Structure 1
Amino acid sequence: MRIAVTGSIATDHLMTFPGRFTEQLLADRLDRVSLSFLADNLEVRRGGVAANIAFGLGTLGLRPVLVGAVGADFDPYRVWLKDHGVDTDAVRVSASLHTARFVCTTDREQNQIATFYAGAMAEARAIELRDVVARVGRLELVLVSPDDPEAMLRHTRTCRDLGIPFAADPSQQLARLGRDEVRELVDGARFLFTNEYETALLQERTGWPEAEVLRRVGAWVTTHGEAGVRVRGEGRAPLSVPAVRVPEVVDPTGVGDAFRAGFLAGTLWGVPEWCAARLGCAVAATVLDSVGTQEYRLRRDHLVERIRTTYGTACTAELLVHLAGLS
């Protein structure tokens, strides 16, 4: 069961602001915003959507193939990912650009303001997915997550040409992509991932109503934060899975990536979709307990207990078989 995760690989610079962003915004001055927020602390962490998801999959016992572009400063990060079960041999190293940077400030209400510098990610368009397949063999799934837009389109086209199932996760890049580009990324995807806001944005970008999107994908997976996850498909009743309750959220950064890792792991294991979604929610809750997107540790008993407490015992026995490698 091999999965390739294509997308961004970055370093996260995470800060916390003790106030509320909304208190600093003046409704009649939004056309000229010039603000500075004094942060309490700074955490420099490993990140990037593809790297976060690959880390989660590797921690769960799969050996995902990470596909993306980085700078020459990537070596310590490479070692970290390899130590957590990620195949990094398909990562391209730029000769001139730095690894991408994500700078994010979170306020006391868990609102976030962020900036992303692409850097070496721009060279991801030069990566040939066929070479990855030639090296590792047949892939069960390719996740196309936020990346250089041309790279996202190229990987999607290659999946279609080779007959490899793919999942579309356009996420942050929806703001940059045109109508035809978003349609090409989505059409024929086995899974389409969005959060609640991106759901509306995707429909606006494609010009397709919900029914048309559902007709063109296998399943549309939408995360709703504290309200959990909804999975929809054409001709079937929606599946709603509540979130795992976290008493005190430490840091929300990367929670969506963690959900995707858990959900995709369950899917590749062949567990029912509702069970895979529950696992995704439990992994996401674990990320909320720590600062950073890859600083968490998955413990089998703790993960299963979270699932059992929130959802009951319906799929815990089946998951335990696949989670046997966790401590």
Structure 2
Amino acid sequence: MRIAVTGSIATDHLMVFPGRFAEQLIKDQLERVSLSFLADRLEVHRGGVAANITFGLGLLGLDPVLVGAAGLDFAEYDAWLRANGVDTSAVRVSETLHTARFVCTTDEDQNQIATFYAGAMAEAPRIDLAETAERTGGLALVLVGADDPAAMLRHTATAHRLGVPVAADPSQQLARLDREQARRLVDGAKWLFTNEYEAALLLERTGWSEEDLLGRVGTWITTLGAEGVALARSGTPRLHVPAVPTEKIADPTGAGDAFRAGFLAGLAWELPPEQAARLGCALATTVLESVGTQEYKLLAADLIDRVGQTYGDDAARAVEPRLTGGS
């Protein structure tokens, strides 16, 4: 099952503020906010939602195709991704712009304030997904992640035209979309990913009720942080998958992308959605325990143990053959 992931490729500048944002906000002055948070730690890492997801898929042996735009400074990042199992042949490299930048500050309650500079991502609409599908021998699934909105719309339309199932994952770009754009991105998707806040924002943006939206997608997956994941499908009871617990959260950045990588890998291995979500939760917790979105080590025994400890021996046995290379 060849999976293409479209979306941002970026460099992450991650800072830690040793306090609480909420304590610095004055309720009746929110319309005139002018704040500076003194961070005591800075980490610079590779990131971008599409790159993060394909990195996880590459570590799991899925040979994913990364579809996005990067800049003049991409050579080292490109080599890193290829070394970790990612097909970067569909990445457009700008001749004039730098790779996108994600600048994020996290407080001690794991709240985050972030700014994203698009840079070379502005050239993503020039990428032809149909050409990528033909050159790679066909695609079984396309995840359309946060990207230049025109690129997201183009990739979604192309995938539908080619008859390739779509996983819609508008995430951070929801705030930029108007009603028609939001509807076009999710309508007809086989899988829909949001977090809890984005779920409410998506309903507001589309103007659809939850029932309306579920009637237009296959399965809606909502990540709930420490509470796990909810899977909703029209006409069936909502399914809740608890998170894999940890006592050593280092940085929440990238955990959602790791969940998507694990979930998509489970689908590629023909696991049922609930089991795929369990694998996704295990990979997400692995990322939570490291700083940076692609700095974690993926050990089969560790993932199997996490799944077994949280969901039971049967769940661990379901993923063990794939993670260890067995049949």
Could you tell me which residue of structure 2 aligns to residue 175 of structure 1?
175
Could you tell me which residue of structure 2 aligns to residue 93 of structure 1?
93
Letter in 1 for 2:185: L
Task: Please tell me whether residue 5 in structure 1 is matched to residue 8 in structure 2.
Answer: no
Could you tell me which residue of structure 1 aligns to residue 194 of structure 2?
194
Shift of 1:293: 0.2
User: Could you say what secondary structure the match of 1:208 adopts?
Assistant: coil
Letter in 2 for 1:27: K
Determine the C-alpha separation between the residues in 1 that align with 2:112 and 2:157.
33
Shift of 1:134: 1.3
Shift of 1:248: 1.8
Instruction: List gaps (5 residues or longer) in structure 2.
Output: none
Q: Cα RMSD between the aligned structures? A: 0.9
Letter in 2 for 1:59: L
Q: How does 1:1-327 map to 2 (within 5 A)?
A: 1-325=1-325
Determine the C-alpha separation between the residues in 1 that align with 2:201 and 2:293.
25
Determine the C-alpha separation between the residues in 1 that align with 2:155 and 2:112.
30
Deviant stretches of 4+, over 4 Å: none
TM-score by length of 2: 0.99
Determine the C-alpha separation between the residues in 1 that align with 2:208 and 2:181.
13
Letter in 1 for 2:321: V
Shift of 1:139: 0.7
User: Could you say what secondary structure the match of 2:280 adopts?
Assistant: helix
Determine the C-alpha separation between the residues in 2 that align with 1:133 and 1:208.
32
* Percent identity of equivalent pairs: 66
Shift of 1:148: 0.3
Q: How many residues align?
A: 326
Determine the C-alpha separation between the residues in 2 that align with 1:126 and 1:322.
36
Determine the C-alpha separation between the residues in 1 that align with 2:159 and 2:62.
21
Shift of 1:325: 4.3
User: Could you say what secondary structure the match of 1:137 adopts?
Assistant: coil
Instruction: List gaps (5 residues or longer) in structure 1.
Output: none
User: Could you say what secondary structure the match of 1:243 adopts?
Assistant: coil
Determine the C-alpha separation between the residues in 2 that align with 1:114 and 1:98.
19
User: Could you say what secondary structure the match of 1:73 adopts?
Assistant: coil
Letter in 2 for 1:22: A
Determine the C-alpha separation between the residues in 2 that align with 1:131 and 1:197.
35
Indicate if the aligned counterparts of 1:61 and 1:325 stay in contact, CA closer than 8 A: no
TM-score by length of 1: 0.99
